[in-house]
Amino acid sequence: MEGIRGKDNHLLVAITGGIASGKSSVSKMLEDLGAPIIDYDVIAREIVEPGKPAWKDIVAYFGEQVLKQDRQIDRKKLSDIVFQDIEKRKKLESFTHPRIIDEAGRRADEIAETDPNAIIQVAVPLLFEINLQYKFHKVLLVYVPREIQMERLIKRDGITREAAESILKAQMPIDEKLGYADFVIHNEGTLEETRRQVEQVWEELKRIQKEKCLKLKNQ
- The predicted-structure confidence for 9-24, as pLDDT tens digits, reads as follows 889 999 999 888 999 9
Q: Is the pLDDT of residue 5 over 70?
A: no
Residue 212's pLDDT band, with cuts at 50, 70 and 90, is confident
56-79 pLDDT tens trace? 999 999 999 999 999 999 998 998
Distance in angstroms (rounded) separating the CA atoms of residues 125 and 110: 22
Number of Cβ atoms within 10 Å of the Cβ of 191: 11
Mean pLDDT of 182-209: 96
DSSP 172-193: --HHHHGGG-SEEEE-SS-HHH
Q: What is the pLDDT of residues 97-107, one digit of tens each?
A: 999 999 999 99
Residue 46's CB is within 10 A of a number of other CB atoms, namely 13
Which of the four CATH numbers 3.40.50.300, 3.40.228.10, 3.90.245.10, 3.50.50.60 does domain 2-218 have? 3.40.50.300
Mean pLDDT of the chain: 91
pLDDT band at residue 7 using 50, 70 and 90 as cut-offs: low
